Structure 1
Amino acid sequence: MPKIKICGLKRKEDVSFVNDAKPDYVGFVFAGVKRKIDFNTAVKFRSLLDDKVQSVGVFVNDKIDNIVNLCENKIINLVQLHGGEDEFYIGRLKERIKNPVVKAVRVKDKNYSAATKADFVLFDTYSSSEYGGSGKVFDWDLLKECRKPFFLAGGLNKDNTVAAVKKLNPYCLDLSSGVETNGVKDLNKIIEMVKILRSL
């Protein structure tokens, strides 16, 4: 049974939804536009979030000090780097925090690399215009040689998650647009997805 991450919480209601559904992780996005939240909002969300659910901070080429601040204040449990952060950056970050680090790899073709100092890799769909959150699926056959635990993102919804688990056996499924209606988190979709995945 894979772990479940609901990414892109933007409203207090979203926190209530995940408290009801009990995924393993939730994502607080500190980059981009459509799902971005600020430090104060993250503090509020973390205070409302069930202690059993771990929070993941999603960053794109952010200052290391900002990430360290969120970790030290126990606002986030894991760090997800979704930009062009290189191995030097990851090494510097890991020297300053004990939190697990997830490095996103945007998959376009077979010429991707899962080699990193990060604790986990997250595979997402390549886009030339954005770092993530496209809601599009990539060719999962490109991952068939991957032998390390990974997070899987990119257009996952109730129609394809079971197939993803059977084909790839990912460590965690990262869900966002697939549990939304008109760009807003949907309680029924979140509960349905968690129920489907917990039954596997």
Structure 2
Amino acid sequence: MTKIKLCGMQREEHIEWANEAGCDYIGFVFAPSRRQISRAVAADLRKRVSSSISVVGVFVDESIEHIARIADEGTIDLIQLHGSEDEVYLQTLRSVCSLPIIKAVCNPHTTVVESSTADYFLLDGAKGGSGKVFDWRQASGYDKPIFLAGGLHAGNLEKAIRTVCPYAVDMSSGLEEHGEKQRHLMLQATAIAHTL
């Protein structure tokens, strides 16, 4: 079974649909984007998340103090870094926060990846939420579990999983129609991932 993260949750119904789908992770985006939510909204939504689902906080070049505050409040279970954060940043973050770290990678097999102490890598086609497909041929040779992201949707999800065999898949724009999350797409994507 492939794990799945449904990212960009913003409203109560999104949490209800994620709980219904039985996904493994959901993502709260704290970085500037159309899916960004505040600490207060995230804390409120967290109370509605099933205990079987882990919550990932998505950040882009955020201050370590801000991430640590959100972590200390119990809003998130994992930290996803989607900016230019380097190994010094990761080590400093680890000194104040013990949550697992997912580091997004758009340029595979760089020296940053080879020396990274991140717990997971997230392979993305471009900036998070862009919908650009990651080059699946570049998804091998990593020494950490990988989340595969970038342009995944119900039409290519099975092929992506069979091709890459990731630890987990991460979807956001592929769960939307006209920029809005859809219940049927969240249920469908989770069902596909969990059968492979």
- Normalising by the smaller structure, the TM-score range is over 0.9
Tell me if 1:82 matches 2:82. yes
Q: Report the CA distance shift for 1:112/1:44 in structure 2 as closer, same or farther (over 3 A).
A: same
Q: Equivalent of 2:145, from 145, 149, 163?
A: 149
What is the 5 A alignment of 1:1-200?
Answer: 1-107=1-107, 113-115=112-114, 116-126=116-126, 131-200=127-196
2:61, 2:84 within 8 Å by CA — same for their partners in 1? yes
RMSD of equivalent CA atoms: 1.4
Indicate conservation of the 8 Å contact 2:28/2:58, yes or no.
yes
CA contact (8 A) 1:105 1:112 kept: no
For residues 15-68 of structure 1, give each alpha carbon's deviation from its aligned partner in whole angstroms, at most 9, with x where no partner exists.
111111110000000012210000000011101111111100000011111111
Cα deviations by residue, 1:166-193 (Å, 9 ceiling, x for unpaired): 1111011001111111111100111111
Deviation at 1:148, TM superposition (A): 3.0
Is residue 151–residue 174 contact of structure 1 (8 Å, CA) maintained in 2? yes
Distance in 1, Cα, partners of 2:64 & 2:149: 24
How does the TM-score come out when normalised to structure 1? 0.93
Which amino acid in 1 is paired with 2:153? N
Q: Distance in 2 between matches of 1:197 and 1:143?
A: 18
Offset, 1:111: 5.3
Native 8 Å contact 1:106 1:123 kept in 2: yes
- Tell whether the 8 Å contact from 2:119 to 2:145 is kept in structure 1 after alignment: no
Give unmatched runs, 5+ long, in structure 1: none
Aligned partner letter, 2:177? T
Structure 2's unaligned 5+ residue stretches are none
| Percent identity over paired residues | 39
Residue-by-residue CA offset, 1:113-152 (whole Å, 9 max, x unaligned): 53211111111013xxxx3111111221122333431111
CA distance in 2, matches of 1:110, 1:73: 35
Report the Cα distance in structure 2 between the residues aligned to 1:192 and 1:20, rounded to whole angstroms: 11
Structure 1 residues 66-94: Cα deviation after superposition (integer angstroms, max 9, x where no partner): 11111111100000000111110000001
CA distance in 2: counterparts of 1:181 and 1:138, whole angstroms:
21
Measured in 1, the distance between the counterparts of 2:140 and 2:51 equals 35
Partners of 2:34 and 2:145 in 1: CA distance: 29
**Kindly tell me: are residues 112 and 190 of structure 1, through their superposed partners in 2, closer, same or farther at Cα, counting changes over 3 Å?**
farther
